[in-house]
Amino acid sequence: MPDAFWDSAGLPLAMGLLSTLALVACDFRGWRPGRYLFKPLSALAFIWLAWSLGATQSSYGTTLLIGLALCMVGDLALMFEREDAFLLGLVAFLSGHLAYVAAFALLPMNATGLWTSLLLATGLVTGSLRWLIPHISGVMRYAVPLYILVIASMLVVAGGTMGLPASALIISGAWAFAISDLAVARRQFISSSRYNQLWGTPLYFLAQYLLASSVAFY
């Protein structure tokens, strides 16, 4: 990364790193006040990062920023461990994923990247549905598969950016986001073990910081 990147990104990334580490520690110890403080700060950090890198100066950056903002809404909703809050968070994140799809689609697409990602995303969808379907009921039996399909579409279009200057950030960020969602699903539907957050939370925020960083190239 050029020096100009670090001049703009240094402070938001430092805030994101510290607040994410603090959030993981608070969640692991079950200290809710810390969760209510550090989760919004961690989300604000990826908004700040994209903004400081000039997100509003391009169509790609603006669309991605909308996605980041929607994900922040999802983060705030998921602070509260209720099914209605989880459903709200699901809708917010689904909308955020769609905004990411729209942002990536503004960039030139690589056919090889699209087909490779389609193959990999199909495997993720199949495995995730087989894992989760026996554990979900009610409206979630419809909402969760829809959400997984939207994630898959994000992965496919992210793969289509292969070969572009920011493709490594976009593709790794999209996949890190998708895999981190497995920790959320496991916590919500299978096991509420606090160990889920030890890997899911850092991976999720890493994904958002990677995606936010991609706006520096457009």
Q: What is the pLDDT of residues 56-68, one digit of tens each?
A: 999 999 999 999 9
Range of the domain at 160: 3-217
- What is the pTM assigned to this prediction? 0.91
Predicted local confidence at residue 2, as pLDDT: 61
How confident is the model over 19-46, as a mean pLDDT? 92
Q: Is the confidence at residue 42, as pLDDT, over 80?
A: yes
Domain count, the chain: 1
- Count of all residues that appear for the chain in the document: 218
How confident is the model over 70-78, as a mean pLDDT? 92
Q: Tokens for 3?
A: 């020096």
**Measuring CA to CA, which residue among 90, 121, 120, 95 is closest to residue 185?**
90
Predicted local confidence at residue 5, as pLDDT: 77
How confident is the model over 30-41, as a mean pLDDT? 91
Q: Tokens for 90?
A: 């699901």
User: If you search the block for the tokens 């950016």, which residue do you land on?
Assistant: 161
